[in-house]
Every structure is written in C-alpha cells, then in structure tokens.
Amino acid sequence: MSDEEELPPNPTDNQVRHTVDDEMRTSYINYAMSVIIGRALPEVRDGLKPVHRRVLFGMYEAGHTSDRSYSKSARSVGEVMGKFHPHGDQSIYDTMVRMAQDFSLRYPLIDGQGNFGSIDGDKAAAMRYTESRLDRLAKHMLDDIKKDTVDFQPNFDDSEQEPQVLPARLPNLLLNGSDGIAVGMATKIPPHNLTEVASAIHLHVERILEEGEENGDPENPPSVDVGEYMQHLKGPDFPTGATIHGIDGIRDMYETGHGRFHVRAHCEVFDNDKGKHIVVHEIPYQVKKAGMLEGIADLVSKETVKGIRDIRDESSKEGIRVVIEIKQNADPHAVLNQLYRSSRLQESYSANMMGIISREPVQLTLPVILHSYVRHREEVIRRRTQFDLAKAEARAHVLEGLEKAQ
C-alpha cells in the first residue's frame, strides 16, 4: 500500500465508546433502581411491595376471597406466577405464608388453613398441603378496584393487566409495617394499631380542612406537630405484644424516619411459698421463641446468667407461657434484669422508614405517610364517583329513550 492511499475507515468510529468503569457504573445503577422500585421497598400509598400486591390481586381475580371456601395454596401460587410474577414459586409461597401469620403481621391479609409455621421458627407445610383465601381485611385493600379507581399496567408478557397500586381503604403501610433490603438502602417500618392510626388520619384530614390546603404534593403535608399525632398514635403495636421502652426513639422515628427503641418481653415474677419463678407471656417482635430459650440455656451453662434452676416451655394455642424456675438463694428480680441485659427477652428495634413516592425512594416521616395515604384515598374516591356518575348517566340515557318509545 502506497503512502498516498487512504486507510479504510474504522468500523467502530461511529459507535459510542464507553470505558469499563462507565458501563459498570451505569449497569449497576440501573440494577439498583430496579431492585429498589420493583422489589424491596413498599409503595407508600398501599404499603405493599410488588409481590404482595400481585398475590392479593391474583387471588382476588381467581375468586379466592373471604366469602368463598379455601383453595389449595399451590393453585393460588401458580395463578400469580403465571399471570403476574414470573419468579420462583417458593418466593411467592413464602410471601403468602408471611401474610397469613398472625405473629408476623399485625393484621394478616391472607386466611390460611393448615400448617403455616409457628413463632418457634418452624417452617410452613408445602403449598400442596395448605389451603388459603383472602382474609376479610384484604377485601378493603381491593375495594372498588373494578371502578377505574387506580391505573393498570401490562404484566411481564402484555397478556394481562395488573394494578400499579391498590385502592387501599386501609392504611396498610402503618398497620403492618414493612421490612426490606434493597441495594444501598433498606426499610424497616413497625406495625401499628388500626384504631390509633385512624384517629391520627382523622386529625390530619381536619387540619387539611382548617388550612384549606389544596396542594396535591404528598411531601408537603399540613402543619401538624408530631406531638399532636402522638396524642392519638402512641407508638408501634407489635403482633407478639411485649412492651416498648424509649418514647424519644419513637418520636425520632416519626419526625425523621430514623429511630431506635427497646422492646422488652412481658414477664411476671412470683416469689411465694411455692417457689421462685419468672413467667414470660409475651416476647419481642420477630424473635423466635425456641431460639430465645436455647440462648438462655446457653447463658446459664456458661454462667453468664446465674440463679436459674430450670426452664419450661408451657406454651399452647391459648398463648405463650414460659416458666423460668429460680434457685432458692437467688433474687428473681436480679435474675430477670440479667436476662434483659444478656438474652433476647429484650431487643432493640432500629426503625428506618423508607418507601416509594412517585417511583422514587424517599425517607419517610409520619406526616408524609399520612398525607400520601389521604391524597391517594381522595383520588380513589374522585375516580370512583366519576365512574358511578358515567354509569348512571348511561343508564339514564337508556331510560329516557324507553320513556319516549313508550
């Protein structure tokens, strides 16, 4: 080739060039946002992650509602997996199991029949053995969904339509809380009592009406001090009972989205002629009773905790009852304090309230959660009213024509 001849053009000159660093950064950010939005964090309006929403809607569509008989859990799992959630059947069933456990959710959304696990950490029976249907409370999460109250989107293969959010007549995010680990962030929201949450929402709506607030931005709630809310919403209400210590941590959680407090088992101390013993009736949230007792026995064998003679688990269907016998020469109150300090009879709960608003992860405060829910319900009621009005007008048009024909 002579020096005067031109070299052929490089076929990659017109292509966009990326360094490996740029490609890895872009791909990882896309993956992280996919996990945050589509898997790990709950939507603030209905308090559900996509898998929970798909399970509830799939069972509703299939007719497995509270006013009908139970059906095999495997059938519900198959319908949800085939129509809305193209992932492993075990992950869907694990979601159903947790939504049916009264020691995991403050207000279970699925009514299960069969072995759905226990507070000791026992696993549920296989899906082919258990039966399930929607709980009566779940009906309120799906009320009026057929009346164009929420937007729908195509499923994974465009063969079905699934809701982007449920109408959620219940403030589920506060009622049942949420736990999730995403990429670079996590969420941990404790459950609350329905009556207290309803009272706080009533206060919030009244303040909106007083201020004439018309802004639809969920991140700009009306000016209500957290202390006013806490006159109605005292704090978390765990399904396993126990006692919360640390009101400052609860206030921090409501004001900033971060808070830490202690949850202590409910124990009774007996020191009488029949002997000395401690009776445990309630244990901290998300603590497995069997593992807790093994931990106490291990502390006794290592002599970290002294004065315990025997431990008996007398729990039954009526509730938890663990009897800890104390030696005659020991003070049961001192032993109980040792147990609180060293065992899982006392646990610290670190709240981190993260959720999705307008498809973005947001650090949540109590006013923001309440305001997002109230605005969502306003939109649902407005759309439901428009739907009913259009249906009534169409019927009126037919009736007017019949009248003229007659």
Residue 287: predicted pLDDT = 95
Bridge partners, residue 162, by sequence: 153
Residue 6: predicted pLDDT = 57
Burial string for 245-268 (b: 16+ CB within 10 Å, else e) reads ebeebbbbbbbebebebbbbbbbe
10-residue stretch averages of pLDDT, the chain, 406 residues long: 54 67 90 89 95 96 95 96 94 96 96 96 96 96 95 94 96 96 93 97 91 61 88 95 93 96 95 88 95 94 92 92 93 94 95 94 95 95 96 94 93
Taking the model in full, what pTM does it have? Answer: 0.90
Residue 1: predicted pLDDT = 47
Tell me which residues are annotated as active site: 129
Is 297 exposed, middle or buried (CB count within 10 Å of its CB: 0-12, 13-18, 19+)?
middle
Per the structure block, which two tokens stand in for 88?
Answer: 């492993």
Measured torsion, CA atoms of residues 143, 83, 98, 89, in degrees rounded to the nearest 10: 170
Per the structure block, which two tokens stand in for 227?
Answer: 């202390």
